[in-house]
Every structure is written in C-alpha cells, then in structure tokens.
C-alpha cells in the first residue's frame, strides 16, 4: 500500500478498510484479516494495524469476538458514510466551492457536471 505523508498511516489503513466496507468487499458481521495478516498485506508494523483496529473499534465500525478475531459491525456502512459526509462538509467542501467560485463555475454548470459524473 502506498502511503501519503499528510495523514497518519493507521488512519490511511482505516480509510482503506472503510472503502472496502462501502464497496461491499467487507460485509456486515464479516470477518476481517487478523492484525498480523493485514500488517503483512500492507507492509507495516503489526502495532500500526492494532492502532487502526482500536480506532475502528472505538468508532463502532468493527467489533471483536474473543478468540475469533475482528468483524465488521452491522452499522459500519452508516457510520462511515456519516463520518465522511461530516468531514467533507466541514472542510473539503468549502475549499472546493471556493475554487469553483474563483474560476467562475456557476451553480447550473456545477449541477450539470455533477449529473454527468453520476451518470458515468
């Protein structure tokens, strides 16, 4: 996995797991890789993955069954959507809309661009 410098590695791994949940690759109550398995897959220290899993567990996205491992929470999809929507609306959207205004993109043009994007 290629990591970016602008975000903690454990959060980037959490984002990847979130992407897998949103895409359906990981399903509610489905087992996820063990800490060691995922650490080997993404080539990081097992402690980093353990921190990722702790973060996801505190967020309600995954849960553990003692002796069996980690599983996707039935509410995981909704939690991730809510978190990502909040993050988008709080910071990234202001910047994005400011850039659109700066280059003169009208609300009608934006609506059409978005409709085209969804259609693809």
Q: Per-residue pLDDT tens for 35-49?
A: 999 999 999 999 999
- Residue 7 clears pLDDT 90, i.e. is over it: yes
Do 69 and 10 touch, CB atoms closer than 8 A? Answer: no
pLDDT for the residue 70? 98
CA distance 53 to 42: 14
**Integer angstrom CA distances of residue 27 from 3, 23, 86, 92, 118:** 25, 9, 23, 28, 24
What predicted TM-score, i.e. pTM, was given to this entire model? Answer: 0.81
User: Per-residue pLDDT for 64 more than 90?
Assistant: yes
What share of the chain in percent tops pLDDT 70?
Answer: 100
| Distance separating alpha carbons of residues 51 and 119, to the nearest angstrom | 38
Phi (first) and psi of residue 25, to 5 degrees: -65, -30
Which is more confident, 8 or 90? 8
Which pLDDT band, with edges at 50, 70 and 90, does 92 fall under? confident
Using the predicted structure, report yes or no on whether residue 90 has a pLDDT greater than 90: no
């Amino acid at each position: 996995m290629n990591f970016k410098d602008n975000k903690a590695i454990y959060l980037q791994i959490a984002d990847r797991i979130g992407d897998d949940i949103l895409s359906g690759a990981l399903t509610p109550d489905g087992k996820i890789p063990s800490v060691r398995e995922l650490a080997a897959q993404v080539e990081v220290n097992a402690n980093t993955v353990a921190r990722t899993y702790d973060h996801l567990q505190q967020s309600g996205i995954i849960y553990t069954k003692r002796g069996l491992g980690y599983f996707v929470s039935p509410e995981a999809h909704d939690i991730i959507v809510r978190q990502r929507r909040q993050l988008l609306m709080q910071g990234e959207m202001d910047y994005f809309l400011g850039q659109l205004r700066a280059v003169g993109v009208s609300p009608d043009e934006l609506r059409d661009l978005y409709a085209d994007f969804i259609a693809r």
